[in-house]
Amino acid sequence: KQEVTQIPAALSVPEGENLVLNCSFTDSAIYNLQWFRQDPGKGLTSLLLIQSSQREQTSGRLNASLDKSSGRSTLYIAASQPGDSATYLCAGGGATNKLIFGTGTLLAVQP
Amino acid sequence: KAGVTQTPRYLIKTRGQQVTLSCSPISGHRSVSWYQQTPGQGLQFLFEYFSETQRNKGNFPGRFSGRQFSNSRSEMNVSTLELGDSALYLCASSLDLVSYNSPLHFGNGTRLTVT
């Protein structure tokens, strides 16, 4: 059964800092790992999707990596901005073909 | 291109009633998934529909049901509402099944409050 954990639960950084968000999963038969952001009162916005055969994906200031052997994924945000403030969720799909979400990391970027 | 549309945005219902939520996917998307989001349990998978067939189901009681129409629009129904059903219900669409590496596109959700 896939379980997804995100640490830390909350993070506050000054503007301009580079930061890393962590995601751990238990089912190594993961078919993809997705990162989303959620703004208050809104739905989720897809940021990056890493297929099981890939090691990383990049989009602008965002870089996500996937290490199936250790059951870990990281989301790297370069030169953080106040507009990056949101809750970041990772989700992994495993053998049951269900997408399992982590509990999220609440990020606050201070101007 | 229009995004995923969920209606209504807010609902207030009484225990024991039933409710139907609607989701219109992005044009051309054939898969629709439903999720329940609560502060205590986070985001939990309800079910996924593809080509009018339920392809996967989460661990929710039979009071939760759904369907998908030929135009890919989807509805979910919750019968005999309980206080614990109060949540944000999110719908997501994708070109193909989630397990086929199709990115999910979410609507803004329906906020259900059961009193």
**A4-13, B15-24, B82-91, B100-109: segment of lowest average pLDDT:** B100-109
Q: What is the per-residue pLDDT for B96? A: 87
A103 in contact with B, Cβ within 8 Å: yes
Question: Long-range contacts of range B41-45, CB-CB < 8 Å, 24 or more positions apart?
Answer: B42/A101, B42/A102, B42/A103, B42/A104, B43/A89, B43/A91, B43/A101, B43/B90, B44/A101, B45/A98, B45/A99, B45/A100, B45/A101
User: Residue A100 forms beta bridges with which residues?
Assistant: A92
In this structure, are residues B60 and B35 in contact, taking their beta carbons and an 8 Å threshold?
A: no
A31 in contact with B, Cβ within 8 Å: yes
- For chains A and B, count residue pairs whose Cβ atoms are closer than 8 Å: 57
In this predicted model, what pLDDT tens digit does every residue of B42-56 receive, in sequence order? 999 999 999 999 999
A3 in contact with B, Cβ within 8 Å: no
Q: How far is A80 from chain B (nearest CA, A)?
A: 24
Q: What is the per-residue pLDDT for B77? A: 98
Q: Among B33, B103, B109, select the one facing A46 at the smallest CB separation.
A: B103
pLDDT surpassing 90 at residue A57: yes
pLDDT surpassing 90 at residue B101: no
CB contact under 8 A, A43 and B90: yes
Q: Which residues does chain B have within 8 Å of residue A42's beta carbon, measured at their own beta carbons?
A: 108-109
A97 in contact with B, Cβ within 8 Å: yes
Looking up tokens 């968000």 gives A21
Q: Among A31, A43, A91, select the one facing B109 at the smallest CB separation.
A: A43
**Spatial CA neighbour of A80 closest among A34, A11, A10, A13:** A13
Q: What is the per-residue pLDDT for A74? A: 97
What does the alpha-carbon distance between residue B54 and residue B63 come to, in Å, rounded to a whole number? 15
A98 in contact with B, Cβ within 8 Å: yes
B87 in contact with A, Cβ within 8 Å: no
**A14-23, A28-37, B16-25: segment of lowest average pLDDT:** A28-37
CB contact under 8 A, A41 and B108: yes
Q: Which residues does chain B have within 8 Å of residue A103's beta carbon, measured at their own beta carbons?
A: 42
**Spatial CA neighbour of B54 closest among B33, B70, B39, B26:** B33
Q: What is the per-residue pLDDT for A27? A: 84
B4 in contact with A, Cβ within 8 Å: yes
